[in-house]
A and B are shown apart, each in its own frame.
Chain A
Amino acid sequence: MELTREDVKKVALLSRLELTEEEIDAQRKPLNDLLKQFEALQRLDVTGIEPTSHSMPVVNVLRDDVETESLSREQVLANAPESRDGCFVVPRIVAD
């Protein structure tokens, strides 16, 4: 199957990317080229094959519940584009 212009727009929205009209057109071909590559996988019989999410499976790694040193609030906020009163500042998300 091939992605239409509308499909690319929808995926961009899901990806939180506000693409320009030119970018939507430019991205369509490489995306479809990749999808075409993926068709090769449909040739394989994978019935009953367990999926591998991690090559070296480790399960539920827990640490002791003890206090350790962590970054200070100032250090954490030092890279924020905008901060105030020890918090990150974001645009208003609730209307008056």
Chain B
Amino acid sequence: MKSWSPYVVGAGIGVLSWFTFASAGHPLGVSTSFENTAALTERAVAPQVAQNNPYFAEKAAEGKPPKINWQWMLVLGIFGGAWLSARLGNDRTPQSVPPLWRWRFGENVGKRFAAAFAGGALMMFGARLAQGCTSGHGISGTLQLALSSWIFVVGLFASGAVMAFLLFGKEGRSHV
């Protein structure tokens, strides 16, 4: 089967979060790993710059120095699991320009890639400011009833909807 009911998938993610809490004491989360990778990269590529960045001392003091840890492997696993699932389910989509984007902005691959790069960068910068993403705040934080996470999901869906309507307009709805 190509896809499962969203309720089955949601329940599966819920049970998976029981497992991650019980087995490793970690909530599901993704974006901290990108921060860790960025920090490790800065230290490897520009050690002089890293030395003058209070980031490293502060994270060490918090007991969270950047490293390849549980969550980093989780992100690697997401790629592997999705690859496997798409392969076995015959649901690979090696496309560069999604149809909705093509309807609104045309076939230009460079334009779509530039938007994807900028959008990804903006999104991750926001995730690190807020200390979480759709997984860490949106699922793990809200299920733990964290104030920060409930503020985050409301803000994210509100601003995402405004931006999507600015980009695609009402008419875009019939092209989804």
Say whether A associates with B. Answer: no
